[in-house]
Amino acid sequence: MLNIYRASAGSGKTYRLTKDYIHLLFDPLKERAHRRILAVTFTNKATDEMKTRILKELHLLSQGEKSSYRKELMAKFRMDEEAVNQRAKHILITILHDYSSFSISTIDRFFQQVIRSFARDIGVHGGYNLELDNSSTLEQSVDNLFLDLSKDENKQLLQWLTSYAEDRIEQSENWNMRSNIMELGKEIFKESYQHKAEATNLKLHEREFLSNYRKSLREIKTCFEAKVKQTATNGLNIMARNGLTHDDFSYKTTNVFEKLIKGKLELSNRFVGFADGVSNCYTKTKPQDIKNAIESAYSLGLQKCFLDLVELFRVDIVTYNSALIVLKHINTLGILSDLAVQIKKLTDEQNTMLISDSNMLLNKIIDNSDTPFVYEKTGIQIDNFMIDEFQDTSLLQWENFRPLLSNSLSSGKFNLVVGDVKQSIYRWRNSDWKLLDEQILTDFRKEQLHEENLDTNWRSDKNIVDFNNSFFVRSSQI
């Protein structure tokens, strides 16, 4: 069973985690149960706090001192007080004598343990250094990028940089090239870029592909603009043949035709309404002869112009805008791809691995396998998994962890995740709160999941809790 605890601040999350962990330790069928439990969180401080809390409670239990966990342990395992005390003492001594196997760690540390086991397989020296600071590596790589511009193989990069600088100057933006590239380079460490980096890099350095791709994007842009301009011109011609001007239409809305011809690609809501019926094109107070002329023009092709433009801006505008954005940023993407190559070259020379690359590297090793063969090869034998602060998990981290949970659940083992989407603060580290809010519910079968909201605040006074509950309920209705 996978227990999903949704725990707001002060709702007893640490108490629940400690309780579940101690209950797993007390399992009479497992000796040295701590070796087969993995609890992960996201900071070293949180790791130390969790270890300290578990050891403290085991110590209190072993000494027969007051503990809020004793009664539940006695009831669940049908033990008297003395038996609980002796069992807790035995567990505590076992953990202290085998402390290196007390597996409560950060998620990054756990993944590094796996990657080091595969160092030879993936072409990395086992003694590599883990680089936590991306900024220093980025700075050196940017310097190397500029130093290598004179090489023949970097002509394409020079063109990208030149075009990028020209675009910045045209937009009256800061054209300090080095600082701009440094800012751009931060995207390389994000999972959204890493997912597509390898394939993108190959395509961007195929000259023929790049030339044809740009050509097709410009054709999309030119074709859409030509259609809009031609349709707007047809509308104006139909108006002219029927002796109509913009003043004859409601709110002079047909002046949109002229704006479209001039390149202002935007339709007003009133203009869109003209396509729905001729009565929307004029006011009730218009002279009858004007109404008749508008109705005649409407039936002779003016409505079709309205409809065609509405359809263009409903469907084709998406492809058009996409082409514009890609054309605008393709130089930027090219620079990023070359900078990524420089970063890889530098880390290989220094025998370092960026911590931001760890998740992607492990994901490639696993290669979407449903069975955790990778983890088996490392000698890791875990029955129960506990993931704290799950709202701060990234998509890649989850994809790397999911095979482990799936395997554990298929064996009927106990697992848990705990988090609160309202406390998701690590988006800059690729965290994705939607994993807790939505995806985890679809990744496993319904019968494998148990959701529980920890809805009691143990940290604040009653008056404060009552005020907040009342305030936010009423303010949401304003």
For helices 177-185 and 317-350, angle between their N-to-C axes, nearest 10 degrees: 90
pLDDT band at 38; cut points 50, 70, 90:
very high
pLDDT band at 211; cut points 50, 70, 90:
confident
Q: Which of 77-81, 194-198, 225-229 has the lowest mean pLDDT?
A: 194-198
DSSP state of 379: T
Quote the tokens at residue 310: 């509405």
Alpha-carbon span 175 to 179, nearest angstrom: 9
pTM score: 0.71
Alpha-carbon span 178 to 126, nearest angstrom: 34
* pLDDT exceeds cutoff 90 at 29: no
**Can you give the pLDDT at residue 124?**
66
Contact indicator for 203, 210 with CB cutoff of 8 Å = yes
**Can you give the pLDDT at residue 416?**
93
The neighbouring-strand residues paired with 418 are 5
* pLDDT exceeds cutoff 70 at 374: no
**Can you give the pLDDT at residue 92?**
95
**Can you give the pLDDT at residue 59?**
95
Contact indicator for 220, 320 with CB cutoff of 8 Å = yes
Strands, sheet with 37-41, edge to edge from the N-terminal-most edge strand: 104-106, 37-41, 384-387, 415-419, 2-7, 449-454
* pLDDT exceeds cutoff 90 at 477: no
- Tracing tokens 């104006």 back to the chain, one arrives at 236
**Can you give the pLDDT at residue 73?**
93
290 vs 207, more confident: 290
Share of the chain above pLDDT 90, in %: 45
How many CB atoms are closer than 10 A to CB 189?
21
* pLDDT exceeds cutoff 60 at 371: no
Q: How far is CA 146 from the centre of its chain?
A: 31
Q: Rounded mean pLDDT of 62-82?
A: 92
Q: What is the pLDDT of residues 148-157, one digit of tens each?
A: 888 888 888 8
Q: Which of 17-31, 128-142, 267-281, 314-328 has the lowest mean pLDDT?
A: 128-142
Alpha-carbon span 343 to 47, nearest angstrom: 31
Quote the tokens at residue 462: 């009653």
Report the chain's mean pLDDT, rounded to a whole number: 87
pLDDT band at 122; cut points 50, 70, 90:
low
* Four-residue CA torsion sign, 299, 302, 308, 314: negative
Contact indicator for 309, 228 with CB cutoff of 8 Å = yes
**Can you give the pLDDT at residue 366?**
76
Q: What is the pLDDT of residues 341-353, one digit of tens each?
A: 899 899 888 888 8
**Can you give the pLDDT at residue 222?**
95
**Can you give the pLDDT at residue 238?**
96
User: Which residue, 91, 65, 87, is CA-closest to 76?
Assistant: 87
Q: What is the pLDDT of residues 261-273, one digit of tens each?
A: 999 999 999 999 9
Q: Rounded mean pLDDT of 364-378?
A: 67
Q: Rounded mean pLDDT of 289-300?
A: 94
252 vs 179, more confident: 252
**Can you give the pLDDT at residue 207?**
65
Q: Rounded mean pLDDT of 38-55?
A: 92
* pLDDT exceeds cutoff 90 at 338: no
422-458: b (≥16 Cβ within 10 Å) or e: eebebeebbbbbebbeeebeebbeeeeeeeeebeebe
**Can you give the pLDDT at residue 413?**
92
Quote the tokens at residue 446: 């319904």
Rama region for 120: left / alpha / beta (φ>0; ψ in -120 to 50; rest) = alpha
180 vs 99, more confident: 99
Q: Rounded mean pLDDT of 432-459?
A: 88
* pLDDT exceeds cutoff 80 at 428: no
pLDDT band at 472; cut points 50, 70, 90:
confident
**Can you give the pLDDT at residue 344?**
87
The letter for the amino acid at 378 is: T
Q: Rounded mean pLDDT of 315-336?
A: 88
* pLDDT exceeds cutoff 90 at 299: yes
**Can you give the pLDDT at residue 123?**
65
* pLDDT exceeds cutoff 90 at 217: yes
Q: Rounded mean pLDDT of 49-72?
A: 93
pLDDT band at 378; cut points 50, 70, 90:
low
DSSP state of 444: S
pLDDT band at 373; cut points 50, 70, 90:
low
Rg over CA atoms, the chain: 32
